[in-house]
Amino acid sequence: MLSFIVRSALTKNRGLWHLGCSAVRAMSSSGPTPPFTTLSISHPKESITHVELHRPEKRNAMNKAFWSEMVDCFNQISGDPDCRVVVVSGAGKIFTAGIDLMDMASDVLQPEGDDTARISWNMRKIITKYQETFTVIERCPKPVLVAVHGACVGGGVDLITACDIRLCTQDAWFQVKEVDIGLAADVGTLQRLPKVIGSRSLVNELALTARRMYADEAKSSGLVSRVFADKEAMMAGALEMAGEIAGRSPVAVQGTKVNLIYSRDHSVAEGLDYMATWNMAMLQTQDVMKSAQASMEKKSPKTVAFSKL
């Protein structure tokens, strides 16, 4: 319900939002898109939204503002019928250095409270809040591609494991950093990483030793599904893949994402039951007919005009 209130508020401001965005239609941006201070939003192609982590001078470290701006940003995207796919990347030299400890310390390390129980109570609220920052990516029904170059550290791994498709450059490396600063990763890595790659021995090694994993191992372990020579090639590749997805029926694409995530957390039997209940309505779309016809005429689904969702 809450989400609805905010969403309504956001809808009213969409004018502003589009205004702010229209200026930044290229993949290289000159700064954050107001009202955001850590994110640059653009629309490089029709139906594609590009979300760029944009604090390059701070190696895109995740400061206080970032954690709430991501939520606002993805809630806007969830409700924006003009967006069908999202690409996330980082401005500057690396994807992200992870949490901005200096900026966050007061918040995370010093919650108020008259005794340990009360401090813990407030700590739990804070952790839950930060978990939400990446869960919004998962809850957004539009597929989210993430393109990583350079380093992806700590909170960065939490972020990318909540995305749907992961790409990286040859020079990228990944580090589950939390154990190095005395804590068990608590905003998603320990929950999602093991469900994202196929080697539990590797997951445990990464999480317990905080060692770096480079692009080749990221590819062979399945963390990323494609590696590119450099950032330029990767961004081109990401845009192309995003274009493939954006050109297909949004009913099909978003239903696929919703059910893939449902399946991850349920038995096969449960997943099939949910799927049948989902599709009893979703198959009743013109998109099937339009797509089938294009298919018989040997045309790409991308040539079809689908209604917005």
Active site members: 99, 155, 158, 178, 186
CB of 300 to its own copies, least distance (A): 9
Query: Could you tell me the smallest distance in angstroms from the CB atom of residue 239 to its own copies?
Result: 13
Rg (the chain; Cα; Å): 20
Of 148, 152, 181, the closest CA to residue 166 belongs to: 148
Alpha helices in the chain (DSSP H): 2-12, 14-22, 64-79, 101-109, 116-139, 155-161, 189-196, 200-209, 215-220, 231-246, 250-264, 268-282, 286-296
Residue 31 or 212: the one with the smaller Cβ distance to its own copies is 212
Report the residue number, 31 or 101, with the smaller CB distance to its own copies: 101
How near is the Cβ of 214 to its own copies at its closest, in Å?
14
> Which is closer to its own copies, CB of 24 or CB of 185?
185
Nearest approach, Cβ of residue 23 and its own copies (Å):
26
Q: Please, which residue, 47 or 285, has the CB nearer to its own copies?
A: 285
CB neighbour class for 127 (10 Å; exposed up to 12, middle 13-18, buried from 19) = middle
Structure tokens at 190: 């320990």
Measure CA 246 to chain center: 16
Closest to 17 (Cα-Cα) out of 84, 110, 79? 79
